[in-house]
Amino acid sequence: MCLAIPARIVELEADNAVVDAMGNRFKAKTTLLDKAKLGDLVLVHAGFAISLVDEEEAKKTWQLIAEVNDYA
């Protein structure tokens, strides 16, 4: 199963980004998104930002992840 995680771009230089997902920071490439900019929310899969996502959708996904973590 594949999973894309919503994350906010907190650092961006060329197509190299650092993103934050629920307090976890990691590197991601923005090569696939011409218009990605600092502060954007993106879906990250396999180290690549694959699409822009709105704040409401990101919050819903983060809430579901938190519920799964609480259950485990």
Residue ranges covered by each domain of the chain: 5-71
Residues listed for the chain:
72
pLDDT tens, 45-58? 999 999 999 999 99
CATH of 5-71, one of 2.30.30.140, 3.30.9.10, 3.40.50.300, 3.30.565.10: 2.30.30.140
Helices and strands per DSSP (H, E), number in the chain: 1, 5
pLDDT tens, 4-56? 999 999 999 999 999 999 999 999 999 999 999 999 999 999 999 999 999 99
Tokens of 28: 């991601």
